[in-house]
Every structure is written in structure tokens, then in C-alpha cells.
Copies of this chain bind each other. A is one copy, B any other.
Amino acid sequence: MAGHGTALVIDDEPQIVKAVARALGDIFEVVLRASTAQEGIDQAASARPDLIVLDLGLPDRDGLAVCREIRAWSSAAIIVLSARHSDHDKIALLDAGADDYVTKPFSTAELQARVRAQLRRARAILPSEGSAIEIDGLEIDLATRTVARAGEPIHLTPTEWALLRTFVRNAGKTLTHQQMFAEVWPNSGGDPQQYLRAYVATLRRKIERDPLRPNLILTESGAGYRFATL
């Protein structure tokens, strides 16, 4: 009884992939597979699955980093699979954006039930959510990492993108300089204010209708910045 939607399994052990894919096959219409972190991220970006099962211990990259990276632009449900029972790992992954953490060996039926629980939650809340956002004539797609105005694509550097992403995800909220700095420059020295001022300026030049009178990125003088309400 294959239902609707797409799932993605990221795992380097063929046996596990097979078992998980089989379990997901009962629930999803399409089940994609990736055997490395990079492949997984690419597939997640292009196919936009509704749910991702991520096995830790991939050969090419750290599972925690993979989870963070995907979560940065995807709202897909992420279920982490791991042989590690340590609290520390579980907490780190869950706080990195994972929605559930299942330890191996696991029961296929339990995994299916947890998948159903995640889907129920995700669907109850997102009636019809695409990742595309439109505001003040600007089109932003967090999943494909594209920005455009009037169909004309706008090129953003990685830092500019990270900044815009942070803004969009907190649209309507006032973000302090510190908060933004922590999000965009995870580990860095230098003067936060200075960075922000410079990048906010370039970002405004690229995305604002009138950079001198910003409509999207609003200054909360003395506090921080606020992105317009969606």
C-alpha cells in the first residue's frame, strides 16, 4: 500500500538500506537511496523528500554536520539511525534538527510507526507548504537556494545566503546582532557589528526594491535587525 510522498535513506550499509527502504516502501510512493553524505545532501536538495532516514557513521562526513546542513534549508522530517546509545550523541543530533533518534538494532515495525508519527505531525501542520516564499516581489526558495525578483535570478555569496536564510527563518522577529552572528559565523573572531553592517548592506543592495528605504531587512537601531513579516 504505497502512499504518497517521497522518502530518502542515507546509509552506507546495503543491508540496512534494503531493510529501511522496504519498510518505507509501505508508506511512501518513492524511496530514494544514497550511500554517502554528499550524495544524500544532493538528493535531499533536488528531490525534496518529506522524510529522511539518516544513518550515522557515514564514511565521508560527520552525521551531526550532515543533519545540520540539511536542516538549514529543509523542513523534512529527519529520523536518525545509529548504533550508538550514548546520551550525548542523541542530544546533539536532536538539537541539530533531527526529529527522532532510533538505535540499532531496531524493529522495522517500530520504525514505520515512528515514521507515521512524524508524518502525521508534519502534515497536520503544513497544509500546503512549499519551500518557496514570496514577499514584496522577491521569490526565495530555501530548498533550492535560489532568490529571484521578477523571474530574474539573484546571485548570493555563501555568507549572504546564510544571512538571508537566518532572516527568513525568523521573519517578523527581531534578531540581536549576537544571535545573527552566532548563526552566520559559527566560529569566528572579529567585530560582529562590522561584519553585519557590511553584509546587510550588500544583501540589501541585492534584494531590496529600494536599498535606501529597505522594505525587507529592517533596522532595529540599538538592538538588531528584523525581517519583514511573511
A residues in contact (CB < 8 Å) with B: 75, 87, 90-91, 94-95, 97-101, 107, 109-110, 112-114, 116-117, 120-122, 124-128, 143-146, 153, 155, 157-158, 161, 171-174, 220-223, 226, 229
Contacts and interface: CB of A to CB of B under 8 A. Distances in A.
Give me the 6 closest cross-chain CB pairs, A-B, nearest first: A158-B222, A144-B173, A145-B174, A94-B113, A91-B113, A125-B125
Contact of A158 (B107, B125, B223): B223
A136 to B, nearest CB: 15
Contacts of A146: 172-174, 226
B110 A90 contact: yes
Contacts of A172: 127-128, 144, 146
Given A157-B222, A222-B157, A94 B109 contact: no
Contacts of A222: 157-158
A163 to B, nearest CB: 13
Give the most central of A109, A117, A120, A144: most B CB within 10 Å.
A117
